[in-house]
Structure 1
């Protein structure tokens, strides 16, 4: 990236823009688009809220629901070894348009993982946002090199944060349309997803889904973080994670711009004590235990919604927020085991129902024709361990206590003789 946009290699994101005059100037240029964003949101969001009860659940393919973000340039051999160990069937790979020299390495990595479903997240910089011809040239090169291995191309990311280069939805739509036009001309078989709005800022999502741009999505991407609210069950403006998913799913259902696919392409919690690698302040950071618990519960809630086609955890190796710390060699965190057991247990699961009563959660599904209940509670309690229970903790360790402690760490309870 060029000035005033600079990349922070510690947290894997751009630095905050410090030039207030530049930000003010750019936002002033985009006032018309910002006005449209507000106007569209005032119409779309209330209507979507009314329509939420009428949106049906989809049939989610559990094997590709559990996706994992990876950096193909970071510890490549260790990354490949862990992907093989995890047996993950869906990965999301980031590619930076300002690092076109890494394209051959990307090709090699994708071919080594051609047995997996791959989402390629194409990250923008200011130069490619400004220069449509450069963008078309480089996208053409990327699509040519990778289209045989990639199932989904996510075009752009984090469009509602100025430090990522976009100052309005109109700017993003112009950026996305370049990719869409190229698809129509030369790559009709590829699938493009957008719009990459981060957090619960659905006024931007509304504008990306309801507009006059001559372009469409093959699915919608969202960076649905809830880390600033603490636990994934916590509310924001009265909305739980399930409510946020339902509202966005409804907007997608109503939009003429997209197919009915929703992919959460980035989410995580920052880890305490990892500055400067943590992408937020210490106030938002959590312990290793909380990180593993929150990750698992986020996945369980998103899976229970049956409205999300995939969730990509961000990411495998990252000292400040990943499953693995790479500061002093490869060190797998507790969450690595939690992710592995979740994936191995649920990748062939058939969802049945989610029951919530007084902050006590029970997700029920069938796994190989056996009933599995996953229990957790925001208010610690106990449950008798029955003779027909086989119980495992979040990391796959068998639990044989007479009284089961039900709390923040979910327990997997397999129930015998269920068909």
Structure 2
């Protein structure tokens, strides 16, 4: 990223946490949007519950190198090494972020994409904190990015973590505004696929709001940033019943019932932050929310195995290749050290997608 705004943390690759005094104050718009979230969930609850209970696992007939995805990022120092590692891993599906505010550096992103002529790309277009108030600028930025990269990609994931204020959206309605603005570009770019929802973590009320509404947009797939690291392993539960499998079950039920999305569920981001890696780790760094390298590798395998066995998920992307706080490769000592999770992902791509033994610890 060439042009980093002052609110961007280059170590953890996300906006800095906002101070309470800097957060926008709630107003009537927030209250009205919250009422829509509540209303849509009350209306949808019977159908969602029915779909959730009747949904059966159907192990996916998807090749590992189609199912497994990996996020990569341009860095002049490591671009050649990234190409070599992607080839060594055998990963075919890559995801690259392009910030909407960095369109002046688009040539650098295009150059990076062209280093991987044999790979398929999803491009995640990041919103800025100004995007929701300058929708015409946002729309033009997205149009410019698609025009510059469409020879390398045809799938664009719109927005990121739209349910986190630090990313720019005060409420879900503003996230829908971003999606509507991009929908208007379809006529200029026939054949382009758009992914959305873009809800991070397990927040089903907000997920349903982005998947069932009467705004003017259509998603070619539901992009969910489904992190489960706060529950430790993929077998850890939230609200007593929602381990990873049941979270995926609910996400799939909602996707199937959506009036705004095709019935395709993509996990576009997940990982486990690592112990003692501040400032690179994106969370507090406390042991309750971070793991050691061996545990990260074990959980990575379990996540992919569980998701693949359900048959409900089209693809899962690990965020990301090079980052000592949560990635597969540590670069802090002036060289690239492949961590255990690197080799775990390689094993998965080579076909180790069977479920782990029953009775594993959560």
Quote how far apart the aligned CAs of 1:321 are: 0.6
Question: Aligned to 1:305, which of 300, 307, 310?
Answer: 310
Report the counterpart of residue 16 of structure 2 in structure 1.
15
Partner Cα distance (2:348, 2:59) in 1: 21
Quote how far apart the aligned CAs of 1:376 are: 5.9
Secondary structure of 1:279 counterpart: coil
Deviations 1:135-160 (A, max 9, x none): 12111111111112114200001011
Which of the two has higher C-alpha Rg? 1
Partner Cα distance (1:193, 1:98) in 2: 20
Report the counterpart of residue 193 of structure 1 in structure 2.
195
Secondary structure of 1:242 counterpart: helix
Q: CA-atom RMSD, angstroms?
A: 2.0
Deviations 1:389-408 (A, max 9, x none): xxxxxxxxxxxxxxxxxxx9
Report the counterpart of residue 384 of structure 1 in structure 2.
none
Partner Cα distance (2:60, 2:298) in 1: 26
Tell me the TM-score normalized by structure 2: 0.92
Deviations 1:362-383 (A, max 9, x none): 63xxxxxxxxxx536426xxxx
Report the counterpart of residue 353 of structure 1 in structure 2.
none
Taking a change above 3 Å as real, the CA distance of residues 27 and 322 of structure 1, as seen in their structure-2 partners, is farther
Which one has a larger percent strand, Structure 1 or Structure 2? 1
Quote how far apart the aligned CAs of 1:326 are: 1.0
Aligned length: 353
Partner Cα distance (1:60, 1:66) in 2: 13
Tell me if the contact between 2:59 and 2:308 (Cα under 8 Å) persists in the aligned partners: no
Alignment of 1:21-170 (within 5 A): 22-26=22-26, 29-55=29-55, 57=58, 59-62=60-63, 63-73=65-75, 75-170=78-173
Taking a change above 3 Å as real, the CA distance of residues 10 and 28 of structure 1, as seen in their structure-2 partners, is farther
Secondary structure of 1:25 counterpart: coil
Give unpaired runs (5+ residues) of structure 1.
350-361, 364-373, 380-407, 409-419
Quote how far apart the aligned CAs of 1:335 are: 1.1
Taking a change above 3 Å as real, the CA distance of residues 239 and 73 of structure 1, as seen in their structure-2 partners, is same
Give unpaired runs (5+ residues) of structure 2.
none
Question: Aligned to 2:208, which of 203, 206, 228?
Answer: 206
Partner Cα distance (1:318, 1:161) in 2: 22
Question: Aligned to 2:320, which of 311, 315, 321?
Answer: 315
Tell me if the contact between 2:281 and 2:326 (Cα under 8 Å) persists in the aligned partners: yes
Partner Cα distance (2:45, 2:331) in 1: 42
Taking a change above 3 Å as real, the CA distance of residues 265 and 315 of structure 1, as seen in their structure-2 partners, is same
Secondary structure of 2:268 counterpart: strand
Secondary structure of 1:196 counterpart: strand
Tell me if the contact between 2:213 and 2:259 (Cα under 8 Å) persists in the aligned partners: no
Taking a change above 3 Å as real, the CA distance of residues 134 and 36 of structure 1, as seen in their structure-2 partners, is same
Partner Cα distance (1:245, 1:291) in 2: 20
Deviations 1:296-339 (A, max 9, x none): 10111011111000000011001111100111121110111111
Partner Cα distance (1:70, 1:297) in 2: 22
Report the counterpart of residue 360 of structure 2 in structure 1.
378
Partner Cα distance (1:27, 1:105) in 2: 41
Alignment of 1:378-397 (within 5 A): 378=360
Partner Cα distance (2:27, 2:275) in 1: 34
Structure with the larger RCO, 1 or 2 (CA within 8 Å, 6+ apart): 2
Tell me the TM-score normalized by structure 1: 0.80
